Amino acid sequence: MVTKKFHGVIPPIPTILFQNGNMDEKGTQNLIDFLIDSKVHGLFFNGSGGEFSQMTIEIRKKVAEFGVEYVNGRLPTLVGTGSPSTLETISLCEHAKEIGADGVVIINPYYWKLSEEALYKHYSSIANNVDIPILLYNFPTLTGQNITPDLAYKLAMNHQNIVGIKQTVEEAERTRDMILEVKSERIDFQIFSGFDDHFLHTLATGGDGSIPLTASFAPELSVGMYEAFRRGEYPKVMEFHQKLSTLLQLYRVDSPFINVVKEAIKLRGIDISTEMLPPLRSLNEDKKALLIELLPKYLPDIFT
């Protein structure tokens, strides 16, 4: 039997900050405890939903250190270490290993459009220099570049510490092709959806789980769908799938939607700061009012 460290629902943790940029440590603890109590299967720090792109290296390291230490082995922890710089990414991966993270998630470099050969060498250099499990992170809408199944296959077959990929892609067939091509030769390669409405498709075609931002405030839906799928309770799976698909309407409240997620967490009664790192901004009062109106409509069992 193949042992997989990462599977199921692994929420990207929004970074809880005060207006001055310092961590809201108590708020972060409140959120982590809530998610662990909600039976998620892992936690992901410094992802896109964690605002890594606005952070200094010092803040990224502090968030990772605090999160891994507070989780204290209760769940597997992933740390986002991607950067346009190969050397900086290696340095952040080394730091993640030093603090005891279980793995790293590396978004493909953004700004320059690289050849597939250069992208292969980027990930290979990291894998050769850092002894820690690596998940690739494919988000072409933001990076401008897709990690193809051929590239993922080559990386997976040549580097055993490249253990999986997060697929935040618009087209479901990209994930299907990734599963068919890579997992056919390396069954332990773990494939996760990034978008909620692709979660069911990912599971049904042989994927391993989801890393969805909505799970940071409504983990019951993703966790419920995953566990129902494992039990073969497919009518329940469809119920959860429909709720998750509807929930994505909340992302239209503002863009980028990370501020919406933080407000939704607070509206669940979890005491956190909802400040954002510039250039992102907190939700304004009109949009807060809209969110308060929409949450009971989309999630009547959670928000009353």
166 is catalytic: yes
Express each pLDDT in 186-238 by its tens digit: 999 999 999 999 999 999 999 999 999 999 999 999 999 999 999 999 999 99
Of 83, 123, 137, 193, which is the active-site residue? 137
Predicted TM-score (pTM) of this structure: 0.95
Of 61, 166, 183, 262, which is the active-site residue? 166
Cβ atoms of 32 and 161 closer than 8 Å: no
Distance CA 10, CA 76 (A): 9
48 is catalytic: yes
Q: Name the band, by pLDDT with cuts 50, 70 and 90, for residue 21.
A: confident
DSSP classification of residue 170: S
Distance CA 63, CA 66 (A): 5
- Coil vs helix vs strand at 164: strand
Q: What angle do CA 280, 199, 292 make, to 5 degrees?
A: 45
Query: Residue 245's Cα: distance from chain center in Å?
Result: 17
Q: For the chain, which domains are there? A: 8-233 (3.20.20.70)
70 is catalytic: no
Cβ atoms of 282 and 274 closer than 8 Å: yes
111 is catalytic: yes
Return the residue matching tokens 């897709």: 146
Express each pLDDT in 268-283 by its tens digit: 999 999 999 999 999 9
